[in-house]
Amino acid sequence: MKNLPRIPIAHLPTPIEELPRLSEALGGPRLWVKRDDQTGLAFGGNKTRKLEYLAAEAQAQGALTLITAGAVQSNHCRQTAAAAAKLGFECILVLAGDPSEASSANYLLDRLLGVEVLWANWESRHDDLQRAYERAVKDGREPYLVPYGGSSPTGAAAYAYAIEEMLAQDLDPDWIIFASSSGGTHAGLVAGAHLCGYQGKVLGISIDEPEEILQARVATIASDVTKLLGEPTTFSPESVLVNADYLGLGYGIPSYLEKEAIQVFARHEALLLDPVYTGRVAGGMMDLISKEYFSPDETVLFWHTGGTPALFADKYRQFFA
């Protein structure tokens, strides 16, 4: 794999830990966790890996401002705000949601990190981001548009390198399971698996998209990542493993599935998950284990993508009470 320009802001490699008490409690396969909740930048998460490459691209273009969008409790926005603060960019966040939502959790951290917030509707968030970007260009603020979820080929490439990192840690699991939403993490892992000859299965649990839509998105980004890394391959949507059985009532609306999983992970391994992404994946994984989807002699790596600050969001206070 070609080396892309990178600014080292993440704590890498992230640890890999075995989860023996959880495996036993679930009567399941051997479980491991990859701690990308520990990437270090203002509580870290998977976007920090992507931002090492995105910020390098922004710097190379002479950008002065990072601009991106997400939900009020977006982990991606909080990590972008942190990268901007650390590297001396200004930061504009286009947040979809209710401005009257108290500044708790990720949104509190955004404010602390010194961002400028513009408000958008959920439905029009992509257009609103585009408009905000054009405005910043006109105002001479030299903005770099960090795509939704950081999932451009440049951002996603970080997860191709992450496969290399995992294999160098001497873990070669039969399965990798993780949260997939804007698709960049998933695409990078798929591309990295191919480029590194990793033979295990890369199973993304969809957080908010139907199976076919996410498969197509991931295949496109993964193909672009291999092109960017100098070894072009075309992935078909059907080759991308997506499970969209756990969408529940939608994005950011946790239910009993997430609540139970968050408690089980906390009480057996003191591993903290989040209500939007990793809690949903863990709930799905527990359901799959109960259905004997994995065979008992297999190893499963739960790739923790972060998001834990959302545990402290006002929005979810009642949920955990």
Ligand X SMILES: *Cc1c(COP(=O)(O)O)cnc(C)c1O
Question: Which residues are at the interface with ligand X (CB under 6 A)?
Answer: 45-47, 75-76, 149, 151, 179-186, 274, 277-278, 305-307
Alpha-carbon distance of 41 to 14, in angstroms, equals 12
CB of 155 to ligand X, least distance (A): 8
Min dist CB 308 to ligand X, Å, is 8
Closer CB to ligand X, 28 or 45, in the complex: 45
Helix and strand element counts for the chain (H, E): 11, 10
Output 265 or 277, the one with its CB closest to ligand X.
277
Strands 16-18 and 30-35: antiparallel
By beta-carbon proximity to ligand X, the closer residue of 75 and 226 is 75
Q: Where are the beta strands (DSSP E) in 64-121?
A: 65-71, 90-96, 116-120
CA–CA gap between residue 234 and residue 229 (Å, rounded) = 13
Instruction: Name the residue whose CB lies closest to ligand X.
Output: 307
Nearer to ligand X, 51 or 136 (CB): 51
The catalytic residues are: 74
Give CA 6 to chain center in angstroms.
Answer: 18
Q: Give me the least distance between CB of 208 and ligand X, in Å please.
A: 10
What is the closest distance, in whole angstroms, from the C-beta atom of residue 86 to ligand X in the complex? 18
Q: Helices marked H in 120-277 — which ranges?
A: 125-138, 153-168, 184-196, 211-228, 256-269
